[in-house]
Amino acid sequence: MTDVQMQDANGDANGSTAYGKAAVNGLLKEESKPAAPKQTNKEDLQLVLQSFRLLIADLCQQFGMGHPGGAIGMAAFGVALWKYTMRYAPHSPDWFNRDRFILSNGHTCLFQYANLYLSGYKAMTWEQLLSYHSERPDSLCPGHPEIEHEGIELTTGPLGQGISNAVGLAIATKHLAATFNRPGYEVVNNHTWCSIGDACLQEGVGCEALSYAGHLKLNNLTVIYDNNQITCDGSVDLTNTEDVNKKVEACGWEVIDVMDGVNDIEGIVAALEKGRDPNRTKPLFINVRSIIGVGSAVAGQAVSHGAPLGKDNVAAMKKAYGWDTEKVFHIPDKVKNFYADIPARGEKHVQEWNDLLARYNNEHPDLSKTFKDRMAGNLPDNWASMIPSSFPSDPTPSRKSNNMVVGKIFAECPTFMVGTADLTPSVNMTWPSYEIFNPPDLKPISGKQGSYKGRYIHYGIREHVMAAIANGLAAYSPRTIIPITSTFFMFYLYAAPAVRMGALQKLKVIHVATHDSIGAGEDGPTHQPVELAALYRAMPNMEYIRPGDSEEVAGAWKRAIEYEGGPTMISVSRQAIPQLSGLTSRDGVARGAYVLREEKVADVTLISAGAELSFARDVAAVLEREHKLKARVVSFPCYKLFREQPLSYQRSVLRRNEGIPAVVIEPYVSLGWERWADAGVNMKGFGHSLPGKYIYQHFGFETGVMAGRVGDFVREFEGGKVGRGDFVEL
């Protein structure tokens, strides 16, 4: 296809090319438009591809490690993206309206590193590129792309995550565009490009992402399928023989085939330009046939995936290309020149956008101010004052306390995009005037019609992609959108790989986990997360908070909205729980644990948290009345926050250093509590299906029973029968 034909092909579809359309909106003038591939002769393009492939091969050879095959096979669509299609600015890597690129097949990270180097990202120096798999801990070329580094939008690697993040990025664009764009002023119109391999199509979370992106009609999202038909175990057909195009079409995508993904840069560019066509009504899936490790002796074979090609193979590749077999890490000047215009072109994109923004500011000054605040990640100054200073004293399910605490904030601060995995009636995360995020032309059989301005997301019964999309929303730009997810706590196990990726990337996502502990009652052990808290309490950067009443729920949200080091999970009850008014403290939550009831001379410290906090208070009363034992009571909503307190504070709360034994009461398994307690009234196995009013009793969480056990333990401890270091399961 010639360049002219390409223009025609675009023109046929929508009356103007994507670039033409954008220019109308003042975004792109002729000078910032990249030259089409036709303007470079075929031999030079071949040299660029050869150079790229050999660079990858040499980089893996250097330290005898790495994943060469995929990156080599993807060379042509690297050129198509970085040279011809994407709008980005290597010297302004954080430009707000840049196109986002996600490498969902993250093990091919060299593909991205080499393209970042070639297109002129300043941080990715030649020396840095060569540090791949070296001993340098400060290498910008880790084994998978990491968000901390210039030009990388999100950390990828665990398969299926990147494509889900890309859906989040595309939602962010859609939402911000619907909110802030005005006729003639497309201040947000970036495109999201995502490359995937076979794995992202097999992983469940990838399937969820395809299904939901199709439903949302995200026409600003293009997925490039590196279809090399090879995975670690061999050819894909060993394990997957589905009709990928048909499946993706069934999910609501448009599909384009590119038959020669190895060399047909023009064809790939034409397909990618279809992606940017604003008249498309669906996300675009480009099925690019490629060859893993192409040009080498192991081309098309699984062995080229995860290990260097081998010295002789690389030499043979160079020979076949007519290159000097002795030269390593060689990039011909012609290739360097080929990429040389990209930084300047990028700065022109930025300048044009800045000019647009200046005109937008004149025409729509109020909107422009809000937009700038959102870009800067500012919440309204008075957000904290929207949290009530006190709460009703009657027993309240803490899932309802949530809404009392943040309902007004959600309604008034457009930064928050709140979603649920099909549990709207259970999680209480809506507000009176909430609008659904959905394609504006969708008229659902039940429920409200939505729009892309909507901030309430029905993720469907797709917990995993919900959390992964939230990561994408959060990564679009810091605090421009703060995503909230919600489902039963138990089903954050489905979402866990994505929640973890948020923690690893320190992304500001707030997860609302309802129906925690065993209060799910009659739903039974499949819905009672007795062991799951251990995972989130162990997860670095994650603040897992179990607030004990509405006041503590207020503390949990205040902390969550202020916390910039990663995600928060607020873990709340299904059932109504007593309000410990006058005892609980929102500031106490921020310290992780605090004293709820002090006794100068004490026999025992009772620790509890969340839905069962009142149990500790009640047991203390019975211990005093019936067992003549003085009990202190500690509320302990968050391990991480308490671990970060100085030892002196920790000791003042627990007073174990004074020889007072501590007993925890929580219907999770004890694992984790042994750090803070000497004994525990905990679950010893999975839960049971019994209505809420019977379930606690069934497992011995009755006040009298617990007091008896604690009393026995205190006497054994005082008598030296058990000591510190013998954690006792009561």
Q: Give catalytic residues, as residue numbers.
A: 463
Q: Are strands 576-577 and 594-597 parallel, antiparallel or unpaired?
A: unpaired
Q: Which two tokens stand for residue 384?
A: 């904290």
Which member of 133, 399, 574, 591 binds a copy of itself (CB under 8 A)? Answer: 133
> Is 709 one of the binding residues for a copy of itself (CB under 8 A)?
no
Segment interacting with a copy of itself, rule: CB under 8 A, options 83-91, 110-118, 204-212, 594-602: 204-212
Query: In angstroms, how far is CA 729 from the centroid of its own chain?
Result: 37
Sheet holding 543-545, edge to edge: 456-458, 416-420, 482-488, 510-514, 568-571, 543-545
> Is 462 one of the binding residues for a copy of itself (CB under 8 A)?
yes
Binding mask 607-646 for a copy of itself (x = CB under 8 A): --------------------------------x-------
> Is 206 one of the binding residues for a copy of itself (CB under 8 A)?
yes
Taking each helix axis from N to C end, the angle separating 204-216 and 161-180, rounded to the nearest 10 degrees, works out to 20
Which member of 118, 654, 664, 730 binds a copy of itself (CB under 8 A)? Answer: 654
Q: Are strands 221-227 and 192-196 parallel, antiparallel or unpaired?
A: parallel
> Buried b / exposed e across 468-490, counting CB within 10 Å, b at 16+?
bbbbbbbbbbbbbbbbbbbbbbb
Q: Are strands 284-289 and 221-227 parallel, antiparallel or unpaired?
A: parallel
Instruction: Annotate 321-332 with three-state secondary structure.
Output: CCCCCCCCCCCC
Segment interacting with a copy of itself, rule: CB under 8 A, options 81-89, 93-101, 360-368, 673-681: 673-681
Smaller CB distance to a copy of itself: residue 261 or 267?
A: 261
Alpha helices per DSSP H over 80-197? 109-119, 126-129, 161-180
For residue 455, the minimal CB distance to a copy of itself (Å) is 15
For residue 568, the minimal CB distance to a copy of itself (Å) is 16
Taking each helix axis from N to C end, the angle separating 496-504 and 463-475, rounded to the nearest 10 degrees, works out to 20
Residues 243-262 interacting with a copy of itself (rule: CB under 8 A): 243-244, 246-247, 249-252
Residues 147-186 interacting with a copy of itself (rule: CB under 8 A): 155-160
Which member of 316, 344, 534, 705 binds a copy of itself (CB under 8 A)? Answer: 534
Lookup result for tokens 């198509």: 80
Smaller CB distance to a copy of itself: residue 45 or 116?
A: 116
> Is 444 one of the binding residues for a copy of itself (CB under 8 A)?
yes
Which member of 398, 420, 575, 614 binds a copy of itself (CB under 8 A)? Answer: 420
Q: What are the Cα distances from residue 117, in Å, to 122, 139, 226, 600?
A: 8, 14, 21, 65
Residues 103-132 interacting with a copy of itself (rule: CB under 8 A): 106
For residue 565, the minimal CB distance to a copy of itself (Å) is 10
For residue 373, the minimal CB distance to a copy of itself (Å) is 31
Which member of 8, 94, 127, 242 binds a copy of itself (CB under 8 A)? Answer: 242
Q: Give the CA-trace dihedral at 124, 126, 127, 129, to 10 degrees.
A: 60
Give me the residues paired with residue 351 across strands: none
Please, are residues 517 and 612 in contact by the beta-carbon 8 Å criterion?
A: yes
> Is 723 one of the binding residues for a copy of itself (CB under 8 A)?
yes
Residue 307, number of CB atoms within 10 A of its CB: 15
Smaller CB distance to a copy of itself: residue 79 or 679?
A: 679
DSSP state of 479: T
Segment interacting with a copy of itself, rule: CB under 8 A, options 69-77, 337-345, 493-501, 579-587: 493-501
Residues 675-694 interacting with a copy of itself (rule: CB under 8 A): 675, 678, 683-686, 688-691, 693-694
Which member of 532, 631, 663, 710 binds a copy of itself (CB under 8 A)? Answer: 532
> Is 564 one of the binding residues for a copy of itself (CB under 8 A)?
no
> Is 416 one of the binding residues for a copy of itself (CB under 8 A)?
no
Which member of 349, 508, 537, 574 binds a copy of itself (CB under 8 A)? Answer: 537
Q: What are the Cα distances from residue 125, in Å, to 113, 116, 122, 344, 729?
A: 10, 9, 6, 18, 57
Segment interacting with a copy of itself, rule: CB under 8 A, options 8-16, 555-563, 612-620, 674-682: 674-682
Please, are residues 366 and 542 in contact by the beta-carbon 8 Å criterion?
A: no
Q: Which two tokens stand for residue 423?
A: 């549990």
> Is 704 one of the binding residues for a copy of itself (CB under 8 A)?
no
Which member of 110, 177, 490, 623 binds a copy of itself (CB under 8 A)? Answer: 490
Q: What are the Cα distances from residue 424, in Å, to 528, 550, 690?
A: 19, 20, 24
Q: Which two tokens stand for residue 460?
A: 């469907």
> Is 465 one of the binding residues for a copy of itself (CB under 8 A)?
yes
Segment interacting with a copy of itself, rule: CB under 8 A, options 170-178, 330-338, 499-507, 567-575: 499-507
Q: Which two tokens stand for residue 145?
A: 């792309």
CB-count exposure of residue 215 (10 Å: 0-12, 13-18, 19+):
middle
Segment interacting with a copy of itself, rule: CB under 8 A, options 74-82, 117-125, 200-208, 621-629: 200-208
Smaller CB distance to a copy of itself: residue 29 or 656?
A: 656
What backbone phi and psi angles, to 5 degrees, belong to 221? -125, 130
Please state, in angstroms and rounded to a whole number, the distance separating the CA atoms of residues 239 and 244. 13
Residues 351-370 interacting with a copy of itself (rule: CB under 8 A): none
Length of the chain: 730
> Is 336 one of the binding residues for a copy of itself (CB under 8 A)?
no
Smaller CB distance to a copy of itself: residue 193 or 494?
A: 494
Give me the residues paired with residue 57 across strands: none
CB-count exposure of residue 351 (10 Å: 0-12, 13-18, 19+):
middle
Lookup result for tokens 């649920």: 420
Please state, in angstroms and rounded to a whole number, the distance separating the CA atoms of residues 317 and 50. 9
> Is 144 one of the binding residues for a copy of itself (CB under 8 A)?
yes
Which member of 62, 424, 645, 652 binds a copy of itself (CB under 8 A)? Answer: 424
Binding mask 32-71 for a copy of itself (x = CB under 8 A): -------------------------------x-xx-----
Which member of 173, 189, 211, 608 binds a copy of itself (CB under 8 A)? Answer: 211
Residues 299-318 interacting with a copy of itself (rule: CB under 8 A): 301-302, 306
| Total site size for a copy of itself, rule CB under 8 A | 136
> Is 235 one of the binding residues for a copy of itself (CB under 8 A)?
yes
Which member of 458, 511, 515, 586 binds a copy of itself (CB under 8 A)? Answer: 458
